[in-house]
Amino acid sequence: MKMKKKMIGAIVCGGVLLLYFGVILTLVFLAVLFQEEIPLPFAFFLLILLSIPFLGILISLISRIREIKSGEEEEAKKY
């Protein structure tokens, strides 16, 4: 039961952050797509720069889920 609560908390928190950064990335992509005044190299740089936190959160969420499933946290409480 406790593992399920931790898993739900991690997924909700990570999901909200991924949704937030996903919306930002989508808005920037649409702005670049429909406005021709933005230089293309700057647009790519901006998209790459904004995708770094998105990927970091995704990797962190995956590692947290693995940690919860393996019971690593419960093992550490013994010491």
What is the predicted pLDDT for the residue at 19? 93
Domain residue ranges in the chain:
2-72
pTM for this one?
A: 0.73
Instruction: Give the pLDDT confidence of 13-63 residue by residue, as tens digits.
Output: 999 999 998 898 898 888 888 887 878 888 888 888 888 988 999 999 999
How many angstroms separate the CA atoms of 5 and 41, rounded?
A: 44
